[in-house]
């Protein structure tokens, strides 16, 4: 069988998991920082994710959204997490 007779491989569908635009590099960095800090603070994945995705009246929004939006938002969330972290 010659190479001309071989069937073409199936085309791969290019899928994106979301229609939302990708995060800018600085926003993605802040997302990683706040996620890591939440995991360290709560010691568990489920608790950290719940905290980051639940609206907080004290902060004025979801901690994850605030941290991704700006460096100031990240600082506010970091301070809030520091208040939750045990001193010892």
pLDDT over threshold 60, residue 1: no
Q: How far apart are CA 82 and CA 38, in angstroms?
A: 10
Q: How far apart are CA 71 and CA 74, in angstroms?
A: 5
- The Cα angle at residue 74 between residues 86 and 37, in degrees rounded to 5: 40
Q: What beta strand segments (E) does 1-88 contain? A: none
pLDDT tens-digit readout, 19-62: 777 889 999 999 999 999 999 999 999 999 999 999 999 999 99
pTM for this model (two decimals): 0.74
Q: How far apart are CA 72 and CA 8, in angstroms?
A: 53
């Amino acid at each position: 069988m010659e190479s001309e007779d071989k069937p073409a491989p199936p085309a791969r569908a290019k899928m994106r998991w979301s229609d939302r635009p990708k995060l800018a590099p600085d926003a993605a960095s802040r997302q990683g920082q706040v996620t890591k800090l939440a995991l360290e603070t709560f010691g568990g994945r489920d608790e950290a994710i719940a905290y980051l995705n639940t609206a907080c009246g004290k902060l004025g929004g979801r901690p994850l959204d605030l941290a991704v939006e700006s460096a100031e938002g990240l600082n506010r969330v970091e301070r809030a997490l520091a208040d939750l972290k045990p001193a010892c």
